[in-house]
Amino acid sequence: MTAKRVALVTGASTGIGRSVAETLARNGYVAFAGMRDPDGRNRAARDEVAGLATAGIPIETVALDVTDDASVAAAVATVVEKTGKIDVILNNAGGCVMGLAECSSVDQLRRLFETHVFGTQRVCRAVLPHMRRRKTGVLAFTSSVGGRVALPTTALYSSAKAAMEMIAEGYKRELASFGIDVVILEPGMVRTKIFDNMWLDDDTARAAEYGALGGVARAVLEMVKTMEGPSPEELAGVLLRLLEMPHGQRPLRTTFGPDAALIDPVNIAADEATRALHALYGG
């Protein structure tokens, strides 16, 4: 078993996931960058990670498709076989659809939930038995401002992130006795390629029935592509600082960025309501 802490990051081919994996590897962790199809569509990302490893940075790629049970099980088994443990898992894989809620098909909504919700649950169920046996670990989730507030033209994306956050909140209380912490990152605008890979609502006929409003998603998408925001490396630094905190002192939710700070009052109010409701129902 390696003496270093071990981290597995999903959706680590680019953006936040890639930055987190590299940042942790440069700061005392053995990092596994989980990504789909590393021998195909993500071969370039795999080769970049391999270059870091050649330079002596303890990071490597592991094939991991969060929408596939066998892939998740194999990835977790690979990490445990190589290192003997998993100390940190960051559920980061995701995607985003923009458009009016009615104008996205059920297939698009299913695709969102398959990754953000069902995929996250697959990964947690695969990793948690190892963490519970060792009575230590951190379960981390990349959410969004949209996990707390439905932003313009992203209600369906927000619904998936909100569902993921509720699952994470349940895990926090259920895993406390096993020495496992849960943290949720809630970034606002971050400079990644997500806006280049975003899907638009697929029912254009219905969108046309909304008139000018039907074209808002495309206008918003072009606008956000030009907006400035902090880098994914900065967000990775935030997670690193959370991981360096003692067990039991890590906050459940951490916002990131000036726009995300606007939901801090929402989180404070929700925490107070949650405590009151748990006291009422004996949780």
Which residue's structure tokens are 């409003």?
213
Q: Which two tokens stand for residue 106?
A: 């059920």
**Do the strands 199-200 and 253-256 form a parallel or antiparallel pair, or are they unpaired?**
unpaired
Neighbours of 263 (CB within 10 A): 20
> For 26-142, where are the alpha helices, taking DSSP H only?
43-54, 69-83, 106-113, 120-134
- Neighbouring residues of 154: CB distance < 8 A, sequence distance ≥ 6: 96, 97, 98, 146
Q: DSSP assignment, residue 161?
A: H
Active site residue 157: yes
* Residue 142 half-sphere exposure toward CB, CA atoms < 13 A: 28
Catalytic residue among 29, 157, 210, 281: 157
Which residue's structure tokens are 């929700």?
270
Buried/exposed code over 94-132 (b: 16+ C-beta within 10 A; e: otherwise): bbbbbbbeebbeeebbebbbbbbbbbbbbbbebbbebbe
Q: DSSP assignment, residue 72?
A: H
Neighbours of 37 (CB within 10 A): 14
By annotation, the residues acting in catalysis are: 157
